[in-house]
Amino acid sequence: MSLDVAREAIEAAGPELIELSHFIHAHPEIGYEEYLSAEAVALAAEKAGFVVERGIADLPTAFRATKGSGELRIVFCAEYDALPDVGHACGHNIIAASSLGAAIGLAAVADEIGVTVVLLGTPSEEGGGGKIDLINAGYFHDVHAAMMVHPWPSERLEAICLAVDHFDVTYEGKEAHASAAPWEGVNALDALTIAQVAVSLLRQQLRPGDQVHSIITEGGAAANIIPRRAVGRYMARSLTAARLAQLRDRLSGCFEAGARATGATLSVSEIGSAFSHMHSDTALLAHYRAAAEELGRSFSLDDQGAPKPTISTDMANVSLLVPSIHPLLAIPTHGAVNHQPEFTSACATPEADQAVLDGAVVLAHTAVGAATDAALRQRLLIRS
């Protein structure tokens, strides 16, 4: 009965959920600047009868929406930040709408099954780490379970979530005329080039699961001026935080090589918070799978033992504190993968709209399952 009531509530809210997904998709905003999107989700939750607190944890684009008063507190995480240049190429518009829908569905039965429903608006998943900000501010400390879905080209129960650091590497040198007196300069771009080559050579000896990505954000002002300043933006990933620390030590040698070879000065500045590896709760995943299969979704790749995709997310940090799941929800992408413009287009189609509704129903049913599975409920409550 509870499952039917939750599903009916989501279906009734369906047009508004799809409209919300389309609005967020049409107004891409980068991390910590999602003013339109955050307000759109918060306002929709308010209209659905939730008590909404805006600007929590001193973050203008974070919010908490609450409904119910049961002892079991279940959180749905809503992401809504976009990527630079390619917009919603990771489908956060679908995430926000499906999490809101799940909250609406669960709220319809919250009193019956003894649940408090919490929808958290979590900004800046793409690099900043809004969930970590909310962890540090205490917004996950009284929570018993947390969940969300993430759009993907295939259906998967979980990914391998790599621990990741984001940081800028800056070299400072000295300008000079590139033709008349280049020896008077200290070439910061050469320093960064040496570092990039050293990192590329290091890659052949990286352990499986270790990854390094980078772009150059500053490299000089004109070809005939020796570059005084060069900046590279890096992401380093590994299977665990401990492994990541070891990788960072090796990368430090590459960066120092650029400074020593050129005489430029080196500084490294961290960006946002470090993302951890993830522990998915297997019992929650079992309820998720059963609910998804009832809608006709298939986990054949998981059953076949296909390699899990590798991603990084601040939901991983939540999972080390709160029993959590972060399954991948399939949408048709016609060969495109996340972070491609074609994936952006795939996130605002009739199939993507159906994924919003499916994701909401499956998450709500997972939460109902957790609340009514006596052993699981007891385990979740014991953590508090």
The pLDDT value recorded for residue 227 is: 98
Q: Mean pLDDT of all residues in the chain? A: 97
Q: What are the two backbone dihedrals, phi and then psi, of residue 256, each rounded to the nearest 5 degrees?
A: -65, -30
The pLDDT tens digits for 184-207 are 999 999 999 999 999 999 999 999
Task: Tell me the CA distances in angstroms from 39 to 33, 123, 217, 356, 367, one per residue in order.
Answer: 11, 12, 31, 19, 25
Strand duo 229-238 + 163-172: pairing:
antiparallel
Kindly give, in sequence order, each residue whose CB lies less than 8 Å from that of residue 197, ignoring residues fewer than 6 positions away. Answer: none
**pLDDT band at 384; cut points 50, 70, 90:** low
Alpha-carbon distance of 106 to 296, in angstroms, equals 21
Closest residue by Cα to residue 363 from 118, 141, 123? 118
The pLDDT value recorded for residue 68 is: 97
Residues 160/312, Cβ–Cβ less than 8 Å: no
Q: Take residue 13 and report the two structure tokens written for it.
A: 């809210």
Q: Which amino acid is at 361?
A: V
Closest residue by Cα to residue 81 from 313, 276, 331? 313
Indicate whether 383 pLDDT > 90: no
Q: Take residue 133 and report the two structure tokens written for it.
A: 């900000």
Closest residue by Cα to residue 131 from 3, 297, 322? 322
Indicate whether 126 pLDDT > 90: yes
Alpha-carbon distance of 150 to 94, in angstroms, equals 8
**pLDDT band at 51; cut points 50, 70, 90:** very high
The pLDDT tens digits for 162-181 are 999 999 999 999 999 999 99
Q: Take residue 319 and report the two structure tokens written for it.
A: 């999972």
The pLDDT value recorded for residue 2 is: 87
The pLDDT tens digits for 132-157 are 999 999 999 999 999 999 999 999 99
Q: Give 183: exposed, middle or buried? Use CB within 10 Å, 0-12, 13-18, 19+.
A: exposed
The H-assigned helical ranges of the chain are 2-26, 35-47, 92-107, 110-113, 130-136, 188-202, 241-262, 282-294, 300-303, 315-319, 341-346, 350-372, 374-382
Alpha-carbon distance of 58 to 40, in angstroms, equals 19
Mean pLDDT within 59-84: 98
Alpha-carbon distance of 23 to 40, in angstroms, equals 8
Alpha-carbon distance of 133 to 59, in angstroms, equals 8
Alpha-carbon distance of 264 to 220, in angstroms, equals 14
Q: Which of 34-38, 237-241, 295-299, 379-383 is the least confident region?
A: 379-383
Strand duo 310-311 + 63-67: pairing:
unpaired
Q: Take residue 241 and report the two structure tokens written for it.
A: 């935080």
Kindly give, in sequence order, each residue whose CB lies less than 8 Å from that of residue 157, ignoring residues fewer than 6 positions away. Answer: 280, 285, 288, 289, 299, 302, 327, 328
127's enclosing H/E stretch is none
pTM of structure? 0.94
Q: Which structural domains are found in the chain, ordered by start?
A: 2-161+277-382 (3.40.630.10), 166-270 (3.30.70.360)
Task: Tell me the CA distances in angstroms from 304 to 120, 194, 283, 299, 327, one per residue in order.
Answer: 34, 43, 20, 9, 17
Burial 336-354 (b: 16+ CB within 10 A, else e): bebeeeebbbbbbeeebbe
The pLDDT value recorded for residue 127 is: 85
